[in-house]
Amino acid sequence: YWCSYLCFIDMKKVLLVASDPSELKGFGDEWIKCICGVGPISSATYSAIFIERYKPDVVFSLGSAGSLGRFKRGDVVSFSTIVTPDQNLSSMHLSLGTTIGSNRATFKELYTADKRSGYILYTSGTFNKEKVESHYSLHSDATDMEAYGVALSATVLSVPFFAVKLITDTVGDNSTIGDISHFYREGRERIKEKVLSLLE
């Protein structure tokens, strides 16, 4: 196991992106680490800078996420699809989450390198304490604040991408930021285990 992991690291450059340094504790110097701050705009900006600078072979968005009912606190989940409600061009007759790219083509969902899980992660620059209609209309399983930005940069720059999140709360359960941080510290070692399994 460890031999295959070390051999992979010798051959591949892996970029880890998280909003806060505490989310990457336990990962050593063999990993490229980007602390992007909070929100999809910041995560897209810093991910693009780090991808251009370090030319990684694969990118991971790591951190916490809130369950929308499918998962329980402590689960570590790799997502297949990333969506956002922040792009709303409904006045242009486009469905929620759809936007227009630089080539004038429309796109909506962004897809990770994990084709098997089938889970959908909802990324918004707004921290929702309660469930909202767009959680349902976008068929989301969990929500975070950075993954869509990381996914967009990785997709545009043609780098394989994963979104791995530790479920620290359920949306609507009145968890505080302190609660979320506590439960992340309790479970972050499982994030590393999941990353290593995806790299095998």
pLDDT at 19 over 60: yes
Cβ neighbourhood burial of 200 (10 Å; 0-12, 13-18, 19+):
exposed
For the ranges 22-31, 38-47, 83-92, 172-181, which has the lowest average pLDDT? Answer: 172-181
Quick one: pLDDT at residue 37?
Answer: 94
Quick one: pLDDT at residue 3?
Answer: 43
Pairing status of strand 120-123 against strand 142-144: parallel
- CA–centroid distance for 5 within its chain: 22
- pLDDT tens digits, 80-136: 999 999 998 899 999 998 888 888 888 889 999 999 999 999 999 988 888 899 899
- pLDDT tens digits, 166-200: 999 888 887 777 777 777 777 788 999 999 999 98
Quick one: pLDDT at residue 10?
Answer: 54
Q: How many distinct helices (H) and strands (E) make up the chain?
A: 5, 11
